Chain A
């Protein structure tokens, strides 16, 4: 935490870049890729709350993403509910689901927890796919409208949606950051480092885990809602195991338990996949070794490198 002023400047610069980005870049394709990355990053922050700060890997993240997206999508597309109501309702539902699942899941630890949440995630997708009357089955739901205007603000255009989503991303990062910095965050870390020791000093490990799990589910749900609204569409693939694993990849490449990691990782890997798309059938074949190399040589992800860079400068500075 040295150089807080430097960090403040850095964050402001990044924020400024993000704000002017759609205005200076006249490329709707690129903007839409960045928006998709922002939305996914929100869910990845949720994943980080569990993995980075409590040390538990929740593989249900994709499932919660899907639940959030479908709840909002169904409300908005099938029942004409306004975005501004559908959003909190969907996030609340996802959080409630997270709480319920957490009651069972959090009795397990480590690998069991991971596989338990994986199974939950798979079940969510199967239920979505087979409950066709409500969810549209394997085809998904089309026709999710853009958010309705608020006063003078309209949200039909790509640029407007970019700012809307950027807003939620910034809120997410702020919430995660202040939480981690606060007593709650330090409680998480204490529990992660040694549950027994934490209990010994009076921390309710169970309650801590539960809070983290609900928060991570809520963030995934928020991401899902924004995704459905941005695309105008929600499908079962968005809640599936593939999505969960990609989120994990984004997080690990970006750097676990770091503030910038989830966003950086998501942006980078999403960009990489767009680049690799030119290679058609070689896409997956190329992505594989890249992942392996990165995880072996950069186990702390990009953020770990940034930390290293910072230390370099510090050494020079004395």
Chain B
């Protein structure tokens, strides 16, 4: 029983990270129909900025995260402004290539600046809490709590602010949104910026638990795509639910079946779901 609980908690913590990454991706993908393969690089950049703030500038963890979020908002927005905007009207494949190009560039730059060394991000939350025989580090609790806070914030943004509602409108019908007078370009820019913020939060929260290195975004972006498709493109609840479910499935599969199976399960799930429902689990929309 203890093993099950321990794994359950591990799964929830992992799911928080998956959800945050998937959220950023689903907004961009659902709203702008752009498959941003470079989103994993944003996650990586968020982790590195936090690392630099903590080690070179001696900032506190919260300040480091805040800076990371600010920087990534700009970085995310500039992806749209510099690159994706110029591919408006072209097929998504063109956007994919451009995204790959940006991914190579960002990973290459990180490699040049910090080298391929695995970096350790120090965190002040290293103590272990034991509850019902389950050990969990404070950092993991922080990840779960912060992720929930971010999700609530995002939800409020989307439902209660004008900006958020514009994003929703664009997700539902881009031309309709244009007709109603929404500045689609500005909304696109903001959506990318928000995706940067989400990636930064994910990267900064998870960094102390893992190791930071230039290619750290590659595996997680694949899973994020799976989550986005499963949960429905542009669906915020879909991304959240999908993220947690996938992480739990992976953790439990790894525990009770085998490691190899846990690696497969994300993709096997996708294949299975799409065979049964070729249009995904949830309807599109926020």
- Chain A positions within 8 Å of B, measured between CB atoms, are 51, 57, 104-105, 107-109, 111-112, 114-116, 118-120, 122-123, 126-127, 130, 241, 245, 248-249, 252, 256, 281-292, 295-296, 299
Contacts and interface: CB of A to CB of B under 8 A. Distances in A.
B274 interface: yes
Given A107-B275, A281-B112, A123 B83 contact: no
Contact of A287 (B86, B101, B274, B279): B101
Contacts, number: 124
Contact of A288 (B108, B222, B280): B108
B260 interface: yes
Contacts of B94: 252, 295, 299
A115 B111 contact: no
A248 B280 CA distance: 25
Interface residues of B, number: 44
B108 A291 contact: no
Contact of A111 (B35, B106, B107, B267): B35
Given A118-B222, A126-B260, A249 B267 contact: no
A127 B33 CA distance: 31
B145 interface: no
- Interface of chain A, main secondary structure: helix
Q: Which 3 A-B pairs have the closest CB atoms?
A: A288-B105, A285-B108, A291-B101
A118 B225 contact: yes
Contacts of A111: 29, 33, 35, 92, 229, 233
- B105, B260, B266 — most chain A CB neighbours (10 Å): B105
Contacts of B93: 51, 57, 248, 252, 256
9 contacts: A57-B96, A108-B279, A111-B233, A118-B222, A126-B264, A288-B101, A291-B100, A295-B87, A299-B94
Nearest to B228: A115
B103 interface: yes
Nearest to B229: A115
B225 to A, nearest CB: 5
B90 interface: yes
A256, A282, A292: residue with the most chain B Cβ atoms closer than 10 Å: A292
B278 A108 contact: yes
Interface string B51-90: 0000000000000000000000000000000010011001
B285 to A, nearest CB: 15
A289 B97 CA distance: 11
B102 A288 contact: yes
Nearest to B225: A115
A289 B92 CA distance: 18
B271 A116 contact: yes
Nearest to B41: A288
A109 B105 CA distance: 30
B111 A284 contact: yes
A115 B222 CA distance: 9
B17 interface: no
B109 interface: yes
Contacts of B47: none
B111 A285 contact: yes
A299 B271 contact: no
Contacts of B83: 292, 296
A185 B278 CA distance: 26
B278 A115 contact: no
B152 interface: no
B40 to A, nearest CB: 12
Contacts of B101: 287-292, 295
Given A126-B263, A292-B101, A296-B87, A120 B271 contact: yes
A252 B268 CA distance: 29
Given A295-B94, A299-B90, A285 B270 contact: no
A112 B278 contact: yes
Given A252-B93, A295-B94, A122 B222 contact: yes
